Amino acid sequence: MIGIETSSLSGIESGRFFPSLHVLDKMSNVLDVPFVEFFNFFSVDLPQNLDEEISSIVKVQNNANKEIIYKLIKAAFTDR
């Protein structure tokens, strides 16, 4: 349904592998769960230079990942 091997899915479930944004996007569609729900963290250590850190992470992504990042931001911060 999401186009990955069973062993890869098992690795994600057990925490041995981390899914790409592309795979998470597919999973959210199949499970009918908002993409942002995969990122509801209760405690995360934030860097002091948050703007720079976010920028450096986004800069190195390919266009497909940037599209997913955009969708995530829009879903999380747009009034419904």
Question: pLDDT for 29-47, tens place per residue?
Answer: 999 988 888 887 766 778 8
Instruction: Evaluate if residue 19 carries a pLDDT over 70.
Output: yes
Q: Which of 75, 72, 74, 73 is nearest to 21 (CA)?
A: 72
Does the structure show a pLDDT above 60 at 80?
Answer: no
Q: What is the DSSP letter of 60?
A: T
**pLDDT band for position 79 (cuts 50, 70, 90):** low
Q: How far apart are CA 10 and CA 2, in angstroms?
A: 13
Confidence of residue 78 (pLDDT cuts 50, 70, 90): confident
pTM, two decimals, is 0.51
